[in-house]
Structure 1
Amino acid sequence: MRRREKGPARRGKAAGWGLILLLVLLIGCAPPRSSRITIGAKNFTEQVVLGELLAQEIEAVFAQEGQAGYRVERRFYLAGSYICQQALVSGRIDGYVEYSGTALTAILKQPLPPVGQRDAAAVATTIARIYRERYKVEVGPGLGFEDTFAMVVRGDDAKRLGVKTISDVARLQGADPTSQNRDMGDPGIERLGVGYEFEERPDGLKGLESTYGLKFDGAPRVMDLGLLYRALSAKQVDMVAGNSTDGPIRALGFVIMADDKHYFPPYEAVPLLRQDSVAKHPEIQTAITRLAGQVGADEVQTMNDAVDGQHRDVGDVVREFRRQKGL
C-alpha cells in the first residue's frame, strides 16, 4: 500500500515544481507593469479575495479624490509565495497580501523560534526590518485576522474518535485498537493530504510530525490546495493540512484540530508594498490604513465560502463586505 502511494506523491510533487518553474519563466518574460497600480495575489480563493479588497479600496480612495474612473490592475493567481515575491521585487506588481509566518520562513528564510516562543509581535518586527533593508518593501498594518495552517478532519470522525487537538490525534495513532477510542477494525486518522508547499517548508510537515510524534499510514497524498477538502470529503484521506479560514471547513462540517503545542508560528495577513510605489501613489497608503484591523477571521471565511461554495463573483462579494464595513 505504501509503495503505491509514494509514486503518485513524487509525480505530483514533480509536476508542482515544474509548474512553479514555468510560472517563474512567464513572470520573467511578462511585460513590465503599466503606470497604473498593480495588485497581485496567489492562486487560491482567500488570496484573490484579499487582492480584490486591496484593489477596490485603492480605487475608492482615487474616486474620493475626483478620479472615479481610476482602475487598479489585477494580477491574480500567481501561484505560491515564491512567485508573488519575485513579482514584487522585480516591479511586476506593487503589492500583495502575505502571511507573517510564511514571510518569515518561506520567503525570508529566517529560523523559526523554539516551539511555544513564536510571538506575533516579534515575527512582525523581524519581517518588517528585513523587507525594508533587503527589498525596499514596506509591511503594512495587519488586516485584522490570522490564517494559520490548520489540521482538519471530518466532523463525524472527530466526534466518533473523541479528538479535539493534534496531540489527541497522535495519541490515537499510537493507541491499541482495543482502547476506548478505537474498536477493532474501526478506522482512525491514518491518511494525510497536504499541499505542495506544506510538504517542504520549514514550518510544515516534518516539523509537525516531529513535534507531535504523528505517524501516518504511508507517504502523504500531495495535491493542489483546491483538491484537499474534496479528498477529505470523499474519504480518500482522513486529515488535511488546510488553512484556518478556508470556507469549506464550515460549509462541510469539518473540524480543526487545535495546535495545543503551538507549533505553527503566527500567520497574520499583512500587505506587502513597494516603497517606490507608495511614494508615487500615496493613495495606496491611505487605502491600507483604512483597511487595518477591518477583516475578522469569521468574515474572511464567510467571503471565502461565498466565492468557493456559493460560486459568487469575487468582486461582488468584496463590494458587499466593504458596504457592511462602511468603507
Structure 2
Amino acid sequence: MFRNLVKSLALAGAVTALPLTAQAQEIVVGGKNFTEQLLMAEMTTRLLEANDYEVDKRDGLGSTALRSAQENGQIDLYWEYTGTSLITYNDVEERLGPEETYERVSELDAEKGLTWLQPSNANNTYALAMREADAEERGISSISDLAAKINDGEELDFAVNAEFPRRPDGLVGLQEEYDFNYPRGNLKTMESGLTYQALNEEQVEVGLVFATDGRIAAFNFVVLEDDKDFFPDYALTPVIRTETLDANPDLEGILNELSGKLSDDVMQSLNARVDVERETIEDVAESYLKEEGLI
C-alpha cells in the first residue's frame, strides 16, 4: 500500500534536480511509485491541462522524497493519505478517528505551508482479506472472528509484507487491540504485491491487503471487518502548497470536484483496470475523467 516508503539515493537525486515551484498557471504535480498514485498524478495532470494550466508531472517518487520535495517548494500538488501524514510525517501516535485525523494533519501541515483540500471517500488503509468462499466456510467475517479462531488453535497462514509484523499500526498493535497472538510459524513474509498472489493461489488463508487495491474485487477476496476500528484512516486527499493555492484559488474547486467522486469502489475499479486488465495509466485516467464529465 501506499505506505511503503522508498528512500533510495536515486530517487533522492531525482528530487534534488527538480526546479523550484513555477509561476502561477504552471503547476508541478507529483506522485508516488505505485498504481493508485500514478493514476492520480495522470488524472490531475489531464484535469488541470483541461482547465488551461501548464503542468509539469513528476511521479514515480517515494513517499519521503515526494513529501520533502513539496515542503521544499519543488512540488506544488499531489494526493496524500491522511494517516501517512499523521503517523509518518508528524509522528502522532494518538489514535484518532477519520475526521479528527483530517483536522489534525490539516492543522499541523498548515504550519509547513501545505493546505489539505477536500478528502475523498477512498480510504487506502491496511486490511486483512480472505478468499470469499473460504471465509464463509470458516465463519470468519471480522478480525474478531479471526482472533477467536487463532486463540482456539486453528492454524491459518497469513501473508504479510516485511514491515507489518513490527509496526505499531500493524500486527503489534492489532494483536494488542484484539487480544490474540498470531503464531510466528504461520506468518509468511513476502513483498506486498505477492500477498495477493499467495492468497489467490491458496498458499495462505489470510492476506495483508490495501483497501483500494483492484485485486480485492478481481480475485473475489472479502475484507475482514475491522470491528474495533484499529487501523488508522488513510483518506486519499489533494494536498497543495498554500502559496500555490493563493496564486491559483480556482484549483480548490477543480480538485475538490474530482475528490468528491472518489471512493473505495471507484479506486478499486480503476486500479484493477491497470493491474488486472492491463490497461495503460493514460487510457484509464482519460476515460474516467471523460465518463465523469470532468474533461
User: TM-score surpassing 0.5?
Assistant: yes
Partner residue of 1:7?
A: none
Change (3 A) 1:176 1:125: closer
> Structure 1 stretch 247-256 or stretch 144-153: which is displaced more?
144-153
Q: Distance in 1 between matches of 2:9 and 2:171?
A: 25
What letter matches 1:119 in structure 2? G
Question: Size of the alignment, in residue pairs?
Answer: 287
Q: What secondary structure, in the 3-state scheme, does the structure 1 residue paired with 2:270 have?
A: helix
What letter matches 1:30 in structure 2? A
Partner residue of 1:136?
A: 113
> Structure 1 stretch 230-239 or stretch 300-309: which is displaced more?
230-239
Partner residue of 1:10?
A: none
Change (3 A) 1:28 1:47: closer
What letter matches 1:25 in structure 2? A
Contact 1:55 1:72 survives alignment (8 Å): yes
Displacement, 1:22? Answer: 2.4
Change (3 A) 1:23 1:151: farther
Q: Distance in 2 between matches of 1:319 and 1:76?
A: 17
Partner residue of 2:103?
A: 125
1:56 aligned onto 2:22:
no
Displacement, 1:90? Answer: 2.0
Deviations 1:234-268 (A, max 9, x none): 33433222111110011011111110111012221
What letter matches 1:40 in structure 2? G
Change (3 A) 1:174 1:199: closer
Partner residue of 1:74?
A: 57
| Aligned counterpart for 1:203 among listed residues 166, 169, 190 | 169
Q: Distance in 2 between matches of 1:88 and 1:220?
A: 37
Q: Distance in 2 between matches of 1:221 and 1:32?
A: 43
Structure (1 or 2) with the larger CA radius of gyration: 1
Contact 1:191 1:217 survives alignment (8 Å): no
1:159 aligned onto 2:136:
yes
Partner residue of 2:122?
A: 145
> Structure 1 stretch 286-295 or stretch 252-261: which is displaced more?
286-295
Matches within 5 A, 1:111-122: 111-113=93-95, 118-122=96-100
Q: Distance in 2 between matches of 1:245 and 1:282?
A: 30
Deviations 1:11-38 (A, max 9, x none): xxxxx98x62424532453232573422
Q: TM-score, normalised by structure 1?
A: 0.79
Change (3 A) 1:223 1:280: farther
Structure with the higher helix share, 1 or 2: 1
**Unaligned ranges ≥5, structure 1:** 1-15, 63-69, 178-187
Change (3 A) 1:238 1:22: farther
| Aligned counterpart for 2:258 among listed residues 288, 291, 311 | 291
Contact 2:122 2:212 survives alignment (8 Å): no
Contact 2:127 2:210 survives alignment (8 Å): yes
Contact 2:21 2:75 survives alignment (8 Å): no
- The 4+ residue runs of structure 1 with deviation greater than 6 A are none
Q: What secondary structure, in the 3-state scheme, does the structure 2 residue paired with 1:37 have?
A: strand
Contact 1:39 1:51 survives alignment (8 Å): yes
Q: Distance in 2 between matches of 1:245 and 1:73?
A: 27
What letter matches 1:150 in structure 2? A
Q: Distance in 1 between matches of 2:30 and 2:221?
A: 30
RMSD: 2.4
1:168 aligned onto 2:140:
no
**Unaligned ranges ≥5, structure 2:** none
Deviations 1:131-168 (A, max 9, x none): 001x1000011133322221112223212211111111
Query: Sequence identity, in percent?
Result: 30
| Aligned counterpart for 2:91 among listed residues 109, 113, 117 | 109
Structure with the higher strand share, 1 or 2: 2
Displacement, 1:219? Answer: 7.6
Displacement, 1:314? Answer: 1.5
| Aligned counterpart for 2:157 among listed residues 184, 190, 197 | 190
Displacement, 1:127? Answer: 0.7
Contact 1:173 1:190 survives alignment (8 Å): no
